[in-house]
Copies of this chain bind each other. A is one copy, B any other.
């Protein structure tokens, strides 16, 4: 899922979505901090730079970015919504000990099932859980 900037601009026009200062900052944070942050993490960090920032704006910005396909939701855990920049295919591994989420390479194209031959698949998510090497050491 690579981003094409022509398509993106068109998509933004189509949906009458502006890439405002706040939205760009949210996008920048998610892009530069590949930690699959929660809303609170994003808010806390950006609030330092933009003191007037409200949490509602973080929610709005994220939803706008999701609408245009730049960001996606990670629902690996049912009680904490996390966000990730849309990049090439990868799965998510959550360590049940330290809580950290790792990306791992996986070929989603090859992932299918005969049961879905008549289904239109728009999206594939792969979530693993377990213990990460750091936590195994201890």
Contacts and interface: CB of A to CB of B under 8 A. Distances in A.
Nearest to A123: B129
A4 interface: no
Interface in A100-138: 102-106, 111, 113-116, 118-133, 136
A125 B122 contact: no
A120 B105 contact: no
Contact of A77 (B75, B91, B96, B106): B75
Interface residues of A, number: 36
9 contacts: A75-B76, A102-B116, A102-B119, A106-B111, A119-B130, A121-B130, A122-B130, A125-B126, A127-B127
